[in-house]
């Protein structure tokens, strides 16, 4: 139970400071889960993001479910997931009840202009850490280059990009394994 | 309005959104517009307001929208009903992801030593890194060039549409990340919020 509450707490902290959607939570995930608690690795996070792209629902929720399950199976998945949505749920209830014009306050606008800059830099620092672990040879760089160009300059859905890369990886690995056995 | 049937419909609508919106926050938008049009619970303008609120609060927009709509619909009955509906609508939205996530996790745990699964993921990791890089660049474009690139006709114009305040703050955050390895993102985010207010960005 103590472990479950720690999971809930860690994810509530992550949820409270994830501004701007799924990718923006990566810096928080790295700090809390990889560096502080050592619950998952950098590679695990890359895997979860890839899966999260092609499964339904919010990426933050998917990632919480995966990490929670890895540590404490189904109860872990439930506690981590509830943790990650808890802060925003409480905050929105308060805003909806008392401050429905919250987003139009000047001070809020200025604060969030600052936060957006920060999150942007943090995402690149996370990409750097992730790249060091995931781009190990030239094949990885080629995949990175192609997927990056398609994601940045075409309208192809990210889910399709992930599924196509996954299929390619599956087939190549299958051929490699066959050769090893032969 | 009848409390219970409305609550069931609310949960049903958000459950379906959670089930079919693939690929994160913005993917929920078309579903939200449809719910609004079908039920009259909120207008397109409300969704736009909600995007603004979501950009100014932590948490995914889908989750925020479910909580907000639940509260708004429920509070027509009473304040407590608003809170209850807000919570239940949010739980309905995440329930499909939770179930599917648990099923996939079970599968991964079973095959975690399979060379085939590990090989496949070694290909997916660079793809995942590329997607995050692309997303980061599109955020950067909006942060540093808030006016867009429409006015970009010459090299000199490039500097006139660049947001200098954002650039200086970004340099400061980058320096903090590089030279102060233990910096927790929370402190950097809070400091940047203060900087945004002080320099009225």
What is the token pair recorded at B6?
């409305």
Residues A114 and A141 both lie in one domain: no
Q: Which of B95, B137, B185 to mutate to test the interface with A (most CBs of A within 10 A)?
A: B185
Q: For residues A43 and A82, state if they share a domain.
A: yes
**Domain match, A87 and A16 both:** yes
A156 and A121 fall within a common domain: no
How does pLDDT run along chain A (182 residues), one tens digit per residue? 889 999 999 999 998 988 766 677 888 888 899 999 999 999 899 888 888 877 777 778 888 999 999 999 999 999 999 999 999 999 989 988 887 677 778 888 888 888 888 888 888 888 888 888 888 889 899 999 999 999 888 888 888 888 899 899 999 999 988 898 87
Chain B environment of A151 (Cβ under 8 Å) = 130-131, 134-135
Chain B positions in Cβ-Cβ contact with residue A37 (cut-off 8 Å): none
Tens-place pLDDT, residues B33-79:
888 888 888 888 878 777 777 777 887 778 888 898 899 888 888 88
The reply to whether B106 touches chain A by the CB within 8 Å rule is yes
pLDDT at residue number B72: 85
Contacts of A118 in chain B (CB under 8 A): 169, 173, 188-189, 191-193
Q: How many domains does chain A divide into?
A: 2
Residue contact B62–A125, C-beta within 8 A: no
Integer Cα distance of B110 and B115 in angstroms: 12
For chain A, say whether B135 makes contact (Cβ under 8 Å): yes
Residue of A nearest to B127 (CA): A144
3-state secondary structure of A84: helix
Range of A156's domain? 136-182
CA distance B156 to chain A (A): 23
Residues A114 and A153 in one domain: no
> Dihedral, CA atoms, B56, B59, B65, B70, nearest 10 degrees?
-120
**Whether A7 and A65 share a structural domain:** yes
**Quick one: A77 and A6 in the same domain?**
yes
Residue of B nearest to A102 (CA): B53
pLDDT (0 to 100) of residue B59? 78
Residues A97 and A143 in one domain: no
- Among A106, A113, A125, select the one facing B177 at the smallest CB separation: A125
Positive or negative, the Cα torsion across A67, A68, A72, A73?
A: negative
* Cβ burial B177-192 (10 Å sphere, 16+ → b, else e): beeeeebbbbebbbbb
Q: Does B78 touch chain A (CB under 8 A)?
A: no
From CA B59, how far away is CA A18, in angstroms rounded? Answer: 6
Of A18, A113, A177, the CB nearest to B58: A18
Q: How far apart are CA B40 and CA B62, in angstroms?
A: 18
Q: In sequence order, what are the residues at sequence separation of 6 or more whose Cβ sits closer than 8 angstroms to the Cβ of residue A15? A: A60, A83, A84, A85, A86, A87, A88, B58, B59
Structure tokens given for A4: 């479950």
Q: What is the pLDDT of residue B150?
A: 63
Q: What does the domain layout of chain B look like in residue ranges?
A: 3-109, 115-198
Clarify whether residues A180 and A146 are in a common domain: yes
Contact between B126 and A161 using a beta-carbon 8 Å cutoff: no
Q: Are residues A28 and A106 in the same domain?
A: yes
| Judgement on whether residues A176 and A94 belong to the same structural domain of the protein | no
Cα–Cα nearest to A59, from B25, B68, B95:
B25
Token pair in block for residue A125? 């620092």
The pLDDT, as a whole number, for residue B1 is: 54
Chain B, residues 17-56, CB within 8 A of chain A, namely 18-26, 28, 49, 52-53, 55-56
Interface A-B, measured as beta-carbon pairs within 8 A, has a size of 360
Per-residue pLDDT tens digits of chain B, which is 201 residues long: 577 888 899 999 999 888 887 765 567 788 888 888 888 888 888 787 777 777 778 877 788 888 988 998 888 888 899 999 999 999 999 999 899 999 999 988 888 888 888 888 888 889 888 988 888 888 788 888 877 766 556 666 677 777 888 889 999 989 988 888 778 888 888 898 899 899 888
CB atoms within 10 A of CB B34: 13
> Do both A176 and A91 map to the same domain?
no
CB B61 within 8 A of CB B54: yes
Query: Which of A69, A111, A120 lies at the smallest CB-CB distance from B105?
Result: A69
């Amino acid at each position: 139970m103590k472990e479950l509450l720690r999971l809930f707490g860690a994810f509530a902290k992550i949820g409270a400071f994830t501004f701007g959607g799924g990718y923006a939570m990566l810096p928080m995930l790295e700090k809390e889960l990889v560096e502080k608690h050592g619950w998952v690795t950098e590679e695990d996070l890359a895997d979860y993001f890839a899966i999260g792209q092609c499964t339904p629902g919010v990426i933050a929720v998917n990632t919480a479910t995966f990490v929670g399950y890895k540590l404490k199976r189904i109860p872990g998945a439930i506690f981590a997931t509830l943790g990650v949505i808890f802060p925003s749920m409480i905050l929105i209830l308060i805003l909806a009840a008392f401050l429905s014009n919250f987003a139009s306050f000047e001070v809020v606008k200025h604060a969030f202009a600052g936060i957006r800059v920060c999150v942007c830099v943090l995402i690149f620092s996370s990409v750097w850490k992730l790249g060091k672990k995931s781009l190990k040879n030239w094949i990885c760089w080629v995949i990175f280059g192609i997927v990056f160009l398609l994601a940045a300059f075409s309208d192809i859905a990210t889910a399709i990009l992930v599924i196509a890369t996954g299929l390619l990886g599956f087939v190549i690995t299958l051929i490699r394994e066959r050769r090893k056995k032969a | 309005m009848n409390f219970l049937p409305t609550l069931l419909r609310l949960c049903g609508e958000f459950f379906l959104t959670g089930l079919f919106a693939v690929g994160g926050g913005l993917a929920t938008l078309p579903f939200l517009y449809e719910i609004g049009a079908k039920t009259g619970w909120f207008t397109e303008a409300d969704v736009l307001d909600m995007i603004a609120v979501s950009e100014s609060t932590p948490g995914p927009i889908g989750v925020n929208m479910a909580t907000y709509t639940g509260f708004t619909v429920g509070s027509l009955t009473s304040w407590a009903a608003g809170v209850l509906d807000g919570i239940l609508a949010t739980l309905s939205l995440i329930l499909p992801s939770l179930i599917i996530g648990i099923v996939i996790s079970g599968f991964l745990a079973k095959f975690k030593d399979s060379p085939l699964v590990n090989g496949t993921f070694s290909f997916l990791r660079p793809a995942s890194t590329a997607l995050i890089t692309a997303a980061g660049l599109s955020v950067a474009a909006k942060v540093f060039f808030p006016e867009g690139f429409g006015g970009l006709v010459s090299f000199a114009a490039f500097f006139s549409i660049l947001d200098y305040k954002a650039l200086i703050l970004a340099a400061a955050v980058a320096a903090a990340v590089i030279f102060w390895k233990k910096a927790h993102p929370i402190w950097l985010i809070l400091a940047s919020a203060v900087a945004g207010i002080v320099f009225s960005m």
